[in-house]
Every structure is written in C-alpha cells, then in structure tokens.
Chains A and B, each alone.
Chain A
C-alpha cells in the first residue's frame, strides 16, 4: 500500500489495521508488516491510501 499527499495524519487508518503496520506522525507510514489486505484504505477519510503499483 502507498500513502499519497492527501494524508493529513489523522490516525484513523492505524486503528483498523489488524497487523499493526501503520505508524502515524503528521502523516501515515506503512511498514513492512503490511499484508496488503486493503482495510485501512476504506477507513481513510482523505482517500490517501492506494494500492502500490
């Protein structure tokens, strides 16, 4: 998953990631614990999480 420049750092995504793969500080950072399940993207109010190419 990839975080785009729409991210404001609200931290909503991290609460719904079951793999504890998102660190948030002013912006979301997705770590290598990510299993690409896509759940976080549906909860982002800014449409800031996309599937990485």
Chain B
C-alpha cells in the first residue's frame, strides 16, 4: 500500500512516521524548503524563535502527543516545570504592585460566596458539562466578578487563541478534564524543531521519502476515490492520500469531483470553520523576566493573555546567559485589519508587566487566515474523513475532541491511523 502525505507539518509527519512504521510505503510532499510547518524553529540573532508555536506541548511528557511520539519511536525529551502556572493579578498597575496566584488556586482572589460556588462547580460540572452555551455565557450565569471573565479570557486566549465568548463551555470543561487526566504543559528540549526533526528522521529510517520545495497542485480522484497527486504537472499515484492542510484547502485541490448531496453537506460544514488568529511577541532578555518554565497568565493585561520563558527549561534556546520570552494574545477576527495597533498595545502590556527589567522586542509575529494559530478553532473541528474515499485530513484543521493545539493534532492523527490500520 502506498500513501502520499501533503504537507510536512506536525500532523503530516506524525501520520507519515506511524504509517511508514506499519509497513506502508510513504511519500511526504512539502511546499516550503523546510519541514515542520508551524512547529519548527527559526533563528533570529541566536534566539530560537518559531514558525508558530510557543515551544509548548500542552500536556507535556504525559499527554497524547508525547505518547504518540514514543509509540512511533521519535526521540524527544519533553520537560515539565511542575506546578509552574500562575495568574499575575495586579492590585496597582501604575506602581507595579501585583500577586502571582497559582493557577490551581485562582479562586482565592474571589469573594467567599464565589469561592463556595466555584468549589461546587468543580465537582458537579466536571461530571455534567454544560451544553449549547459559550464558556463566557456559562460564567455570566454563575459568577458575578469581572475577574472571572478576565481569567477565562486569559486562559482561552493562551490555550486556544480565542475569547471565552467564542469557545463552547463543553469544550473548556473537556480541556480542564484533560489537564487533570494528562497534566500540565512541558517544553521539548531543542524546541519545536526537535519534535518535527525527530519525526522526519523516523520517516526516513522507516524507508519513507521526504520531499521539500514540492507543492501539490491537485489531488487525483478516480471513481470517487483518491488515487494520487499532481506536482509540477507530474502524476504521483497512491492508494491513500493524507492531507495536512485543513479541509478547505484540501477541497480546493480536488478539481474534478461530482458533488453529491452528502458531499454538499460536508462542504457547508467546512465552509463555516473559522481559523483562530493571534499575535506572538518575542522578547530577548538579559535577565530572567519570569524565572520558571511554566506559564504566566496575565488576566489584568489589555491584550496579552499569557507569557512563557522557555530558557528556564532549555537554556540553549537563547545565546548564553540570555532569556527568550514569548507572549501570546488572541486577535478577534474583526480586529485583523488593525493588527499594528493590536501589536502596539501588546508591547505596552509587556512594558508594564516587566517594568524596570532589561529586555527588548526581537520580533512580532501575527497569524490569521491561511496561516493561523489554529485552522479550525477549538470546538469546531469536523473529523478526519472526507466524502472522498481514501482521502483523510489531519493537523489542526481536524483535531480530536478536547485536544488543545498539538495535543488535538495528535488525537486527530490517532483517530485517522485507527481508521486506516483497522481497515
């Protein structure tokens, strides 16, 4: 059996590693000169920035991605700074007076009444997650403190690049459940590139082939079945095609298809998936700004949702003695025409949060539309199959339920592999 993978992002590479190790003949085609997609490193002045991610694996060494990496034999070390997630709550922002409240104890800043309700919800809601409302709606029904919203937006902004009003409550509770089940975030030693490079090595050592600078222009469909791809006018036949570029772009590559009623329903569903947008601000620091390898949530900030300092886990991600600090903020869809203002406000936030510290802005990076934070925002994923037999979609346009970011990519790949290998 021969499989062609379109795109060498995390989803494509995980699929290629798994299938090449299960007796399939695998070819991966990547449009860019490098592999890794939005999960690899780029060097700026000796700092290891990235093409997308904040060098963080949401459930660290014990989550779905770590498990899948181990299963396919990818040699990656993921380290977690246990218990290191804080909410920075400002009492007086002008005079830089704040308290860093541990993430698990965020309720301590609430009134007694809200604290009692919170304790109750922790027990009841985990068992019966609320249906058909956003996380923000659920909060407004149950809490009367603005801090609850700010914390919710900070968490959703960091983890999903969305406002709490744009995430189904059920999805957030599924994520909380996964945090209990799998544990908190970790950093791969060597950064994102260590993960995607290790996967590319696995594919090659399993006899698979990786091509860069090769853009797929069409998916060949014969008798309603995917049977290969076209690159630079040349046909490459295959028994299965796995696309790493999301449902919409995948559909654009299917040129000659008869649209049945069922197919039309699929097209209507994929058309409404919205990619999530966001801004990452990368700082070079001459001293530690955070001091641990976890996450600093910033609910009091104007736009910044959270910040990390990965050099506390892997010092080699910056020049010797320096620190790499990355801040993330979600961008609402209607704000993308005003990105420059959004970036300026984010920088202002960071100047206040780290007032008096020695740092400079290395690079600001923004993501939306065709190169987003997530191709389909959490809670709106639509599975890995398509109406075309033998054509599957993996990656962050087709995540598994409750999976944040790359954990969702891993869960989606696991679903896809089950469908293919059980067949």
Q: Give every chain B residue within 8 A of A12 (Cβ-Cβ).
A: 42, 51
Tell me if B33 and A8 are in contact (CB < 8 A).
no
Tell me if A15 and B43 are in contact (CB < 8 A).
yes
Chain A contact residue count (CB 8 A cutoff): 17
B324 nearest CB across to chain A (Å): 14
Q: Give every chain B residue within 8 A of A9 (Cβ-Cβ).
A: 339, 364-366
Tell me if A15 and B364 are in contact (CB < 8 A).
no
Bound-complex Cα distance A26 to B347 (A):
13
Does any Cβ of A come within 8 Å of B371's Cβ? yes
Does any Cβ of A come within 8 Å of B370's Cβ? yes
Bound-complex Cα distance A10 to B33 (A):
16
Does any Cβ of A come within 8 Å of B213's Cβ? yes
Tell me if B365 and A24 are in contact (CB < 8 A).
yes
Tell me if B366 and A42 are in contact (CB < 8 A).
no
Chain B contact residue count (CB 8 A cutoff): 23
A24 nearest CB across to chain B (Å): 7
Known: A25-B340, A42-B213. A8 touches B371 (CB 8 A): yes
Bound-complex Cα distance A41 to B136 (A):
41
Bound-complex Cα distance A32 to B343 (A):
24
Known: A10-B51, A14-B363, A43-B33. A26 touches B340 (CB 8 A): yes
Bound-complex Cα distance A49 to B236 (A):
29
Does any Cβ of A come within 8 Å of B162's Cβ? no
Known: A15-B49, A42-B33. A8 touches B367 (CB 8 A): yes
Bound-complex Cα distance A16 to B32 (A):
12
Q: Give every chain A residue within 8 A of B49 (Cβ-Cβ).
A: 11, 15
Tell me if B370 and A8 are in contact (CB < 8 A).
yes
Bound-complex Cα distance A4 to B381 (A):
30
Does any Cβ of A come within 8 Å of B44's Cβ? yes
Q: Give every chain A residue within 8 A of B369 (Cβ-Cβ).
A: 8
Within 8 A of A (CB), among B1-57: 32-34, 42-44, 49, 51-52
Q: Give every chain A residue within 8 A of B343 (Cβ-Cβ).
A: 25-26
Does any Cβ of A come within 8 Å of B368's Cβ? yes
Tell me if B44 and A14 are in contact (CB < 8 A).
yes
Within 8 A of A (CB), among B325-370: 339-340, 342-343, 363-370
Q: CB < 8 Å: which of B42, B52, B370 contacts A46?
A: B370
Bound-complex Cα distance A52 to B34 (A):
25
B241 nearest CB across to chain A (Å): 21
Bound-complex Cα distance A22 to B42 (A):
15
Bound-complex Cα distance A10 to B368 (A):
9
B374 nearest CB across to chain A (Å): 14
Of A15, A16, A46, the most chain B CB neighbours within 10 A belong to A15
Bound-complex Cα distance A43 to B36 (A):
12
Tell me if B363 and A11 are in contact (CB < 8 A).
yes
28 CB contacts below 8 A, A to B, read A6-B370, A8-B368, A8-B371, A9-B364, A9-B365, A9-B366, A10-B51, A10-B365, A11-B49, A11-B364, A11-B365, A14-B44, A14-B363, A15-B42, A15-B49, A16-B42, A24-B364, A25-B340, A25-B343, A26-B340, A26-B364, A42-B32, A43-B32, A43-B34, A45-B32, A45-B371, A46-B370, A46-B371
Q: Which A residues are within 8 Å of any B CB, using their own CB?
A: 6, 8-12, 14-16, 24-27, 42-43, 45-46
Given contacts A8-B370, A9-B365, A24-B363, 7 further A-B contacts (CB under 8 A): A6-B370, A10-B371, A11-B364, A12-B51, A27-B339, A43-B32, A46-B371
The 8 closest A-B pairs by CB, nearest first: A26-B339, A15-B42, A9-B366, A11-B365, A26-B340, A45-B371, A11-B363, A8-B371
